Amino acid sequence: MFTIKNHLEVRNDHLIIGGVDTTELAKQYGTPLYVTNESRVIENFSAYRKAFPDADIYYAAKANGSFAILRVLAKQGAGADVFSYGELYIALLAGIPREKILFNGNSKTDFELQKAVELGVKVSVDSHDELHTLSKIAENAGKTAQIAFRVNPDVSPKTHPKIATGLSSSKFGIPSGEVVDIYSEASQLPGISPCGIHCHIGSQILDTSPFTEATHKMMDLVEKVVGLGIDLEFVDMGSGLGIPYKKGEKTPTPRDHANAILPLFNERTEALGISPKLILEPGRYIVGDTTILLTRVNTMKKAAKNFVGVDAGFNLLIRPTMYDSYHHAVVANKAASKPEETYTIVGPICETGDIFAKDRELPRIEKGDIIALLDAGAYGFSMSSQYNGRPRCAEVLVKDGDSDVIRSAEDVGDLMGKQKLPARLM
Ligand code: LLP
């Protein structure tokens, strides 16, 4: 037995997750199949909690909004960053307390604001327009909405441009120069209690200096807002800590993230004589490496490349297609075997971009082999679709040698879903 990456082990040439043989999982539940190691979710969450002992950790539900995973995190005391009424609904159902939920989003519907007010969760307000809508909704409901403003601190997170969210050109947040005015406006509005401040600069961040830069800028704003006489109960610094997708890649840890933020945060709040709660919103770090996607080899073809056609497509894991991201591939039933050939692993979708792994050195592959795509826990299933008439696959949770289905596979009936025919087409 040896460890291949983090919690993943190899026994008798087979890949093992959470004490369970992945080839057995493929047999028992079929493929494609998402498999999550519950203990690893808890380990990752605990690492964040240890690094930020006085902060509240609001798990970013968008990374993986599966009910059972939210439940595991709720039991660990996690809060949640939610970005839609759907995420809010499932987070509450999973037992995350409403006091530990922040409703984020740059384009919320009136219905979503209404629900946030009704359910009493904090709202991160993204524009003047939204502030006024929320004020009216809260006033009509006879309630007061606890709010933060999402600030755009204009910091480059040095990551993929599609997931940089705190640049001045991005669609998110209130420009720094308008922040003081909007807080003073908010403090006059009915139904609104400005009590926090929020930013999130991007995702898969591998250099911690942008976190420090964002903390500097946020604490300058905190000082100004406090100067207006506003009592800031929380400062939410978002998240974005990257994880190592490539084997052996060195990436910052939650402790490095803490070192980039905490000394400055503590020094500045102390100097101001305030003690707001620090909130972090990690998603990828908590779930990214906990999960693999198992997929079976349908067919082999030597053409422009040595193609391996598998039964999962980018409808199940879109990250490589969308961000050119790397996911390590392991032949799960030959996990200890020597690499012998160079392969390109592709899905069955009708697009050239449907490639999971390019030019990888792997043991000799044949039809029926099981490939595991690693680190598929964040923005994997949560970004899946039914494109090309492909029902979504099942999800299984493993722990200490046992496995449970946490989401059944869809079938063609689910493709029909809520579709209907107008009477004239009957
Ligand atoms: N807070 C807010 C407001 C966010 O928008 C996000 C992610 C997070 C927290 C969590 O960030 P994390 O710790 O996971 O980096 N689909 C892309 C990533 C999109 C991230 C969107 N926002 C990917 O697959 O790389």
Cis preceding-peptide flag for 32 (omega within 30 of 0): yes
In this prediction, residues 44-51 reach a mean pLDDT of 98
The whole-number pLDDT of residue 87 equals 98
Is the CB of 204 within 6 Å of ligand 1? yes
The whole-number pLDDT of residue 63 equals 98
> Does the annotation count 393 as an active-site position?
no
Token readout for 418 is: 């809520």
Do 137 and 192 contact (CB within 8 A), yes or no? no
Token readout for 105 is: 């989003």
The whole-number pLDDT of residue 73 equals 98
> What pLDDT band is residue 248 in, cutting at 50, 70 and 90?
confident
Going across the sheet that includes 14-17, the strands are 2-5, 8-11, 14-17, 20-21
Q: Is the pLDDT of residue 276 over 90?
A: yes
Task: Output the average pLDDT for the chain.
Answer: 97
**Whose Cα sits closest to atom 24 in ligand 1?**
379
In this prediction, residues 65-72 reach a mean pLDDT of 98
**Cα-to-centroid distance, 209 and ligand 1 (Å):** 18
- Specify the pTM: 0.97
Is the CB of 37 within 6 Å of ligand 1? no
The whole-number pLDDT of residue 169 equals 87
> What pLDDT band is residue 166 in, cutting at 50, 70 and 90?
confident
Q: Is the pLDDT of residue 239 over 80?
A: yes
- For residue 325, which atom of ligand 1 is closest to its CA? 25
Q: Is the pLDDT of residue 140 over 90?
A: yes
| Residue 261 dihedral angles phi and psi, to the nearest 5° | -110, -50
44, 56, 62, 122, best to mutate for ligand 1 pocket (most atoms within 8 Å of CB): 62
Token readout for 371 is: 């490939």
Is the CB of 200 within 6 Å of ligand 1? yes
> What pLDDT band is residue 167 in, cutting at 50, 70 and 90?
confident
The whole-number pLDDT of residue 156 equals 85
- For residue 288, which atom of ligand 1 is closest to its CA? 14
| pLDDT over 70 percentage in the chain | 100
Closest CA to 138 of 186, 89, 70: 186
> What pLDDT band is residue 214 in, cutting at 50, 70 and 90?
very high
Is the CB of 202 within 6 Å of ligand 1? no
pLDDT in tens, 13-31: 999 999 999 999 999 999 9
In this prediction, residues 347-373 reach a mean pLDDT of 98
160, 281, 375, best to mutate for ligand 1 pocket (most atoms within 8 Å of CB): 281
In this prediction, residues 297-319 reach a mean pLDDT of 98
The whole-number pLDDT of residue 5 equals 87
Is the CB of 283 within 6 Å of ligand 1? yes
In this prediction, residues 308-332 reach a mean pLDDT of 98
- For residue 63, which atom of ligand 1 is closest to its CA? 14
**Cα-to-centroid distance, 243 and ligand 1 (Å):** 12
List the catalytic residue out of 195, 199, 350, 393.
Answer: 350
The whole-number pLDDT of residue 199 equals 97
**Cα-to-centroid distance, 203 and ligand 1 (Å):** 5
Is the CB of 102 within 6 Å of ligand 1? no
**Cα-to-centroid distance, 165 and ligand 1 (Å):** 9
3-class SS letters over the chain: CEEEECCEEEECCEEEECCEEHHHHHHHHCCCEEEEEHHHHHHHHHHHHHHCCCCEEEEECCCCCCHHHHHHHHHCCCEEEECCHHHHHHHHHCCCCHHHEEECCCCCCHHHHHHHHHHCCEEEECCHHHHHHHHHHHHHCCCCEEEEEEEECCCCCCCCHHHECCCCCCCCCEEHHHHHHHHHHHHHCCCEEEEEEECCCECCECCCHHHHHHHHHHHHHHHHHHHCCCCCCEEECCCCECCCCCCCCCCCCHHHHHHHHHHHHHHHHHHHCCCCEEEECCCHHHHHHHEEEEEEEEEEEECCCEEEEECCCCCCCCHHHHHCCCCCEEEHHHCCCCCCEEEEEECCCCCCCCEEEEEEEECCCCCCCEEEECCCCCCCHHHCCCCCCCCCCEEEEEECCEEEEEECCCCHHHHHCCCCCCHHHC
> What pLDDT band is residue 340 in, cutting at 50, 70 and 90?
very high
Do 225 and 197 contact (CB within 8 A), yes or no? yes
In this prediction, residues 184-210 reach a mean pLDDT of 97
Q: Is the pLDDT of residue 74 over 90?
A: yes
**Cα-to-centroid distance, 318 and ligand 1 (Å):** 15
> What pLDDT band is residue 161 in, cutting at 50, 70 and 90?
confident
In this prediction, residues 393-420 reach a mean pLDDT of 97
The whole-number pLDDT of residue 122 equals 98
**Cα-to-centroid distance, 199 and ligand 1 (Å):** 12
The whole-number pLDDT of residue 55 equals 98
From 166-170, 220-224, 360-364, 410-414, the region with the lowest mean pLDDT: 166-170
Instruction: Give the chain's length.
Output: 426
The whole-number pLDDT of residue 144 equals 98
- Counting beta carbons within 10 angstroms of the beta carbon of residue 156, is it exposed (0 to 12), middle (13 to 18) or buried (19 or more)? middle
Token readout for 262 is: 């905490």
Q: Is the pLDDT of residue 272 over 90?
A: yes
Closest CA to 32 of 383, 334, 360, 348: 348
Is the CB of 152 within 6 Å of ligand 1? no
Is the CB of 323 within 6 Å of ligand 1? yes
**Cα-to-centroid distance, 47 and ligand 1 (Å):** 19
